[in-house]
Amino acid sequence: MIVTTVNAVNDYHKQEQFAQVMRSEDATRRLVTMFRCHGMHHDICHAQQIPSSELVVGDIVEVRAGMQLSVDALLLHSYGDIITDESAVTGENDEVCKRVLPHGVTSDPLSEGMGDVFLISGSSILDGSAEGLAVVCAVGPHSFAGEIAMTIQDSEKVNTPLQDQLEHMATVIGKLGTAAACVTFVALLLKEL
């Protein structure tokens, strides 16, 4: 019994340490490079790393390979095509090419085969050479992934008839078990007297 208790405590501490390491790695992975500009003509810019949860609409962020997007953004500048994986959000397994629009484009860029400039939350940047800048358009529950999460959260959970029957049966079994335990307790108590 002592060995079992020591093993259980040891396993618990290992799980806590693992969870702490995962939380710190996740926090490090969620840091994004953001550019803040100031001055009369916004000509003085400096980069700073902040958690992606602190981004607000209008922030300019660096987009790079391996990044998991937590905001919706519009691609402003890139050093090449940016390949994204939107399967976690859209369910489509195709990689999506994102590219900056050439100056002077006034028509729909998708219909003319120029590519897509919108980076949606929940997608990840795949291409190893991809680097660019994007302006944040939507965050949190107003982003594409946020709206999906809110819709799922708001939808009511409706039990199937089988789930209703199983819940009823579990309640009956619980009541019978409690009654049997009480009868056993009383019988053992009377036997001792």
146 vs 148: CA distance, rounded Å = 5
Sequence-distant (6+) residues with CB within 8 A of 100 are 75, 76, 77, 78, 117, 132
Which CATH class for the 31-154 domain? mainly beta
Residue 172: both structure tokens together: 């009956």
pLDDT at res. 28: 44
pLDDT at res. 172: 95
pLDDT at res. 184: 95
Write down the domain spans for the chain: 31-154, 162-193
158 vs 105: CA distance, rounded Å = 48
Q: Residues in the chain with pLDDT < 70?
A: 1, 18-31, 34-46, 102-115, 128-130, 154-156
CA 28, 137, 140, 71 torsion: positive or negative?
Answer: negative
pLDDT at res. 168: 94
Other beta carbons within 10 Å of 96: 19
pLDDT at res. 156: 64
Whether pTM exceeds 0.85: no
pLDDT at res. 41: 56
CA 69, 74, 79, 80 torsion: positive or negative?
Answer: positive
